[in-house]
Amino acid sequence: MFGINDALRERESQKGPIRVAIIGAGTMGGYMVHQLMTAKGMNPDIVIDVDVERAKGALTKAGIAESVLKFCHTPAEVATTIKEGKYASRQPLCRVTSRYLPRSSTARKRTKSAP
């Protein structure tokens, strides 16, 4: 795609892969982890999700062995884990509950009535 694959391969051979954090391991996040593992030049070094098992599942489904996974509680633990060559998974520092997210019908009604 416009030479990006070649550029990523070259970058990986010269400086190593681009290290990526994925926030959310649902359908799209899990797919992104899988895509990053199959492409050259980028690695999903950390996956953050409110459900740690879902983050772990996204990594293992992409072919990453459980033996190189580590659940981390702090950003410092994440940094150490990545330096050790392992993949990190952690819960976010805060959670957004559904109460704050717009829902389909009520969100549309509020949006339409807003000035």
For 108, list phi and psi in degrees, rounded to 5: -65, -40
Average pLDDT over residues 83-94: 66
Task: Give the per-residue pLDDT at 29.
Answer: 92
CA dist., res. 14 & res. 52, Å (int): 33
**Mean pLDDT rounded to a whole number for the chain:** 75
Higher pLDDT, 22 or 68: 22
CA trace torsion 37, 40, 41, 44 (10° rounding) = 0
